[in-house]
Structure 1
């Protein structure tokens, strides 16, 4: 392993109280969630905390990120969240930073007060307008969830909870209006918005592949030309950062390696769980927190290297080949360019042209 892991995604609950139709965990190729424990046990909590602490000490890390995930992590109960956060803090000597990714349905004032006390940042999944959100993010009854999520976000956006407001996560739907989607999200005053491309690959292509650049360019232009900064859009900010000579901290942008691992509810140590969209068992390492260190697991992860077809591409340093999950083809593994290659090329070129034009305009001024 050339570099230590920096992010640990811990699945403290493996089920969800929504039935989103695009979910890569429940609706795609890997169905191993069916045989996993619903909730992470106290024993696995403690072993996971120990292993994170072990990794921190081995590499003298000044900080690591621990993401509480699922399923829906708050289904584990706020007491379980408190216990796990406390255990990891003790095991790491206090260097762990915590976040929680939730669908928002269980974000009551009481829960937010505990998360604020613990210093756990909260990211919420919401897909734009009420109509667009409720087309996909539904209860098992088929009823939409937007109204409940909006109420939770109104509470999270209050000044007392602002320090733990991590941001919003939105999966792109080509059927939605891009600018209306962006404006619906900024109405909740998020510090950051993450737009996610739907998971797909060369064997199972995402719907409408080739049209995502148009959608993203419309949002970029609206965001970039705003009279005053409204929020950070992570994908755009990182593309700009790399174009200006910096390094990306986001998976799927730039050439920085992916330094993260997943711990499932049964204690299995695995690779990024979006690999579940490729084939059954794609993220498996065969290791468990009870008997293996994270150093051992890192050696078995899918290597995040630039695919050979990308080496001659003029935007390779910015795109980085995209997510490994989006490079997969059943007969040849993960060595392809991303299935979103054409989309990312057009988006990056558009951003580059905007930057060049603005820089040129500034340098021409007397």
Structure 2
């Protein structure tokens, strides 16, 4: 599932536009706010909806320390902006702990200056006291992938087809014992989309600071799943809004985004969304290769687009690589598609033009203007709230 927002950003995936830039001719921000790093390709789970191929997830390739050093140097060169460094696999915690610690050390001067914040997205099965100590030492913000109560996690098994739920809950218990706050991401499947109450109740009790609901979609190796009907998605969001309105303490990423947008619009701050620029979200593989727009493009090969790699940080600075971003055909096509979204879609200001990976994996085309992600996570969300407000 895509990383659809960078942690900590009020306007997800976007940065403010400079006032002297046209709203029509600029889509990507000249500077990134999020840097996604792949410390390892290995994953200890074999989730049936994963977009990565089984062969890739079974292979242990680990990022080298020189790659981390090059990236820290790249952040140092870019000035004083804060960068969210997001460690995302594979399963990041299958990285040998000594290696992971060595990868973090080059960023320490920046972190102590307040210029780097570490995030990790994990399945939590490997979290123990030692990992909690590492999270504390390096100031990590933790995200856990879990799909709800035990029955909702049938897709999340290990390579021996054994369920992972008990191990996930054990890892969460370690986080709570060490007073480490965590957020959650839940994949909503064709089965669980009809059970919003049980999902919401579970996350209310889990202890997460917030939850994001990713409606399952076709992506990468996950290309044989059934598309969830929009009326079921809208009902799911409507039930979520009803529960929040009834006093649920749960913070839901999607509700926060939409209600935040509406609050800004009512307060005369709609321009903050209308003029936002897309974070290019550079993603760096274990070997130092760099792709942009979507972490899901890392490792993908295509007859038309090649491997989507713009360069390698062991041979060029990150700034030099990103300075050539417009030379990539997929980036040019994505910006064309985002401009078309602006012209054609009534939801553009809230949606911001959709996710590159969804456009590619659903249509093989970055210029398309509507995807299942747009419909499920933006359009049906907004329609559900509209129905509730009009009821």
Question: TM over 0.5, yes or no?
Answer: yes
Which of 32, 39, 50 is the equivalent residue of 2:62? Answer: 39
Which of 129, 137, 142 is the equivalent residue of 1:122? Answer: 142
Taking a change above 3 Å as real, the CA distance of residues 105 and 342 of structure 1, as seen in their structure-2 partners, is closer
Which of 289, 307, 313 is the equivalent residue of 2:345? Answer: 313
Contact 1:4 1:295 in 2 (8 A): no
Which of 105, 117, 128 is the equivalent residue of 1:97? Answer: 117
CA distance in 2 between counterparts of 1:276 and 1:297 reads: 15
Which of 31, 36, 53 is the equivalent residue of 1:26? Answer: 53
Residue number in structure 1 paired with 2:4: none
Contact 1:122 1:166 in 2 (8 A): yes
CA distance in 1 between counterparts of 2:384 and 2:314 reads: 48
**What SS is found at the alignment partner of 1:260?**
coil
- 1:50 and 2:63 equivalent? no
CA distance in 1 between counterparts of 2:245 and 2:127 reads: 33
Which of 190, 194, 199 is the equivalent residue of 1:174? Answer: 190
CA distance in 1 between counterparts of 2:183 and 2:362 reads: 35
CA distance in 1 between counterparts of 2:136 and 2:203 reads: 22
Residue number in structure 2 paired with 1:362: none
Stretches of structure 1 lacking an aligned partner (at least 5 in a row): 358-366
Aligned 1:179-198 pairs, distance under 5 A: 179-198=197-216
**What SS is found at the alignment partner of 2:49?**
coil
Give the drift of 1:35: 11
CA distance in 1 between counterparts of 2:290 and 2:50 reads: 21
CA distance in 1 between counterparts of 2:74 and 2:258 reads: 34
**What SS is found at the alignment partner of 1:318?**
helix
**What SS is found at the alignment partner of 2:174?**
helix
CA distance in 1 between counterparts of 2:310 and 2:145 reads: 30
How many residues matched? 340
Aligned 1:210-359 pairs, distance under 5 A: 210-211=229-230, 213-228=233-248, 230-245=249-264, 256-271=277-292, 272-275=294-297, 280=302, 284-298=308-322, 299-300=324-325, 302=331, 303-304=334-335, 306-308=338-340, 311-328=343-360, 333-340=365-372, 341-343=374-376, 344-354=378-388
CA distance in 2 between counterparts of 1:285 and 1:325 reads: 14
**What SS is found at the alignment partner of 2:51?**
coil
Which whole-Å deviations, capped at 9, do the CAs of 1:103-136 have from their partners, x for residues lacking one?
A: 1111002211221122111111101111111x21
Give the drift of 1:226: 3.4
Taking a change above 3 Å as real, the CA distance of residues 9 and 282 of structure 1, as seen in their structure-2 partners, is farther
Structure 1 length-normalised TM: 0.81
Taking a change above 3 Å as real, the CA distance of residues 110 and 36 of structure 1, as seen in their structure-2 partners, is closer
Residue number in structure 1 paired with 2:5: none
Contact 1:89 1:95 in 2 (8 A): no
Contact 2:66 2:314 in 1 (8 A): no
Structure 2 length-normalised TM: 0.76
Contact 1:12 1:70 in 2 (8 A): yes
Contact 1:124 1:167 in 2 (8 A): yes
Q: CA RMSD in A?
A: 3.2
**What SS is found at the alignment partner of 1:161?**
coil
Taking a change above 3 Å as real, the CA distance of residues 307 and 209 of structure 1, as seen in their structure-2 partners, is farther
Contact 1:276 1:282 in 2 (8 A): no
Contact 1:157 1:190 in 2 (8 A): no
**What SS is found at the alignment partner of 2:382?**
helix
Taking a change above 3 Å as real, the CA distance of residues 52 and 318 of structure 1, as seen in their structure-2 partners, is same
Give the drift of 1:37: 6.3
Which whole-Å deviations, capped at 9, do the CAs of 1:43-72 have from their partners, x for residues lacking one?
A: 2222222223223x3xx31x1100112111
Contact 1:19 1:138 in 2 (8 A): yes
Taking a change above 3 Å as real, the CA distance of residues 286 and 84 of structure 1, as seen in their structure-2 partners, is same
